[in-house]
């Protein structure tokens, strides 16, 4: 095998795409900053138990493990940043009130999450801790939509569900180890046959409710249907009410519902959402409420957030043209160097043509040139 061949689902990011990703990163973090979110930078590498404790089997399977040569302990390469941000909120900041945090950095997966996906996503997200009310859920939804609009994503649709519905139907029911994962998978895949087999020994109300979830997807009218066919449990009533309220706050943004959608990691505890773009087969953003995420760090408080992969996002939006640049000659002259420095300080891109390379392709599509006119260096349109 050639030394330059990369592992499957791992790829270099070349200049034009890298530039676009970096522009998106800056714009989206600026959008989060505009809402009052503070940037944090957790490490890529942590002790394995810190990364995985309480986060379910799925995240463990996605995490690369290695041995620390200094301590002999097992380390993990993060597969998701949310547990790290929860640790920061619980132990390093430890604030009493609301804390808003955002981040952007690579995560590493043992397997691609979907066909053609990178195993090294560039994950950007935002999280709000310390408020249990729906106001926090709505803020996260609005921020995630604003981020996609800042990236010029068209045809946005929000798909919503609530983890409390399935949790209520499965509460106090004994099931074999591993069955819960299979039940969640059957619900997500709308596999009524598998689901009926898994819940055949459950109480009739719970089994009927789970089977009903498979059909409960569509427009806002589905919430009324859910209220009619699902058991009248307080948690289910609250979940349906919250979904109704949140969807009403999103104005003209189209909203759909899939009450069987339980995809994702194990820490979701309430409203969940995914945002799709027109023509996209997979969500660009996923998020929701995960009030239990800080419990393993000794601080169990309300939390809600979202995340996205900028490498996936950049494929879904139109390429941006290069900002026009200025071509300048290379030289020792102090006045030339001063003119170039002044232009760069003003935010211009100035590309110096090295000796012998005057006829090479202009990668920056320079539309102006710096040249001497009347004893001064002047920028002129080509």
- pLDDT for 319 equals 84
- pLDDT for 266 equals 62
pLDDT digits (tens, 9 = 90+) for 219-229: 999 999 999 99
Place of tokens 């030394």: 3
Dihedrals phi, psi of 4, to nearest 5 degrees = -90, -5
Estimate to the nearest angstrom the gap between the alpha carbon of 264 and the chain centroid. 12
Question: How far, in Å, CA of 254 to CA of 262, rounded?
Answer: 21
User: Is residue 306 within 8 Å of residue 144, measured between CB atoms?
Assistant: yes
Best CA proximity match to 53, nearest among 92, 96, 82: 82
**Number of helices (H) and strands (E), helices first, in the chain?**
13, 16
User: 187: buried, middle or exposed (CB in 10 Å: 19+, 13-18, 0-12)?
Assistant: buried
**What are the contacts of 209-213 at 24+ separation with CB within 8 A?**
209/169, 210/166, 210/169, 210/170, 210/183, 213/165, 213/166, 213/169, 213/187, 213/259, 213/260
* Strand, coil or helix: 350: strand
Question: How far, in Å, CA of 366 to CA of 382, rounded?
Answer: 8
Best CA proximity match to 275, nearest among 235, 316, 244, 242: 316
Q: Tens of pLDDT along the chain (382 residues)?
A: 577 899 999 999 998 899 999 999 999 999 999 999 999 999 999 999 888 866 666 788 899 999 999 999 999 999 999 989 999 998 888 888 999 999 999 999 999 988 889 999 999 999 999 999 999 999 999 999 999 999 999 999 999 999 999 989 988 787 766 778 788 888 888 999 998 998 888 888 889 999 999 999 999 999 999 999 999 999 999 999 999 999 999 989 999 999 998 776 567 889 999 999 987 778 999 999 998 777 777 778 899 999 999 999 999 898 888 788 999 999 999 999 999 999 999 999 999 999 988 887 777 888 999 999 988 999 999 8
- pLDDT for 324 equals 84
Question: How far, in Å, CA of 283 to CA of 88, rounded?
Answer: 27
pLDDT digits (tens, 9 = 90+) for 300-326: 889 999 999 999 999 989 888 878 899
Helices (H), 279-357: 310-316, 334-345
Reported as type and span, the H/E element at residue 39 is strand 38-39
Question: How far, in Å, CA of 2 to CA of 38, rounded?
Answer: 43
Please give the structure tokens belonging to residue 231: 């058991």
pTM: 0.90
Spatial CB neighbours of 58, under 8 Å, sequence gap ≥ 6: 181, 264, 265, 266
Question: Left (φ > 0), alpha (ψ -120 to 50) or beta: where does 356 sit?
Answer: left
Lateral strand order in the sheet of 74-77? 45-47, 74-77, 64-67
């Amino acid at each position: 095998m050639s030394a330059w061949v990369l592992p499957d689902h791992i790829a270099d990011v070349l200049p034009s795409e890298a530039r676009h990703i970096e522009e998106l990163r800056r714009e989206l973090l600026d959008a989060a900053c505009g809402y009052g979110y503070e940037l944090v930078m957790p490490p890529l590498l942590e002790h394995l138990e810190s990364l995985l404790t309480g986060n379910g089997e799925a995240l463990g399977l996605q995490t690369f493990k290695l041995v620390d040569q200094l301590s002999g302990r097992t380390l993990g390469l993060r597969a998701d940043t949310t547990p790290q941000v929860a640790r920061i909120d619980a132990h390093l900041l430890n604030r009493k009130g609301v804390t808003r945090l955002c981040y952007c950095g690579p995560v590493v997966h043992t397997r691609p999450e979907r066909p053609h996906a990178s195993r090294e996503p560039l994950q950007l997200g935002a999280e709000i801790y310390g408020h249990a009310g729906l106001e926090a859920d709505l803020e996260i939804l609005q921020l995630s939509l604003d981020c996609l609009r800042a990236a010029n994503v068209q045809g946005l649709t929000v798909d919503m569900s609530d983890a409390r519905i399935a949790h209520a139907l499965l509460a106090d029911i004994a099931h074999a180890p591993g069955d819960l994962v299979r039940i969640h998978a059957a619900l997500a895949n709308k596999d009524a046959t598998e689901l009926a087999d898994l819940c055949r020994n459950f109480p009739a109300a719970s089994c009927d409710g789970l089977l009903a979830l498979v059909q409960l997807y569509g427009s806002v009218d589905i919430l009324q249907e859910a209220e009619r066919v699902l058991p009248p449990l307080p948690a289910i009533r609250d979940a349906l009410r919250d979904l109704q309220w949140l969807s009403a706050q999103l104005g003209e943004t189209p909203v759909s519902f899939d009450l069987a959608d339980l995809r994702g990691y194990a820490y979701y505890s309430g409203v969940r959402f995914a945002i799709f773009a027109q023509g996209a087969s997979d969500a660009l953003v996923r998020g929701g409420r995960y009030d239990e995420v800080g419990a393993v760090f000794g601080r169990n408080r309300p939390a809600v957030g979202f995340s996205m992969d900028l490498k996936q996002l950049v494929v879904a939006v139109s390429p941006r043209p290069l900002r026009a640049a200025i071509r300048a000659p290379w030289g020792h002259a102090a006045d030339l160097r001063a003119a170039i420095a002044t232009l760069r300080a003003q935010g211009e891109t100035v590309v110096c043509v090295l000796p012998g390379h005057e006829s090479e392709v202009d990668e920056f599509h320079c539309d102006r040139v710096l040249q001497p006119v009347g004893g001064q260096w002047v920028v002129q349109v080509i």
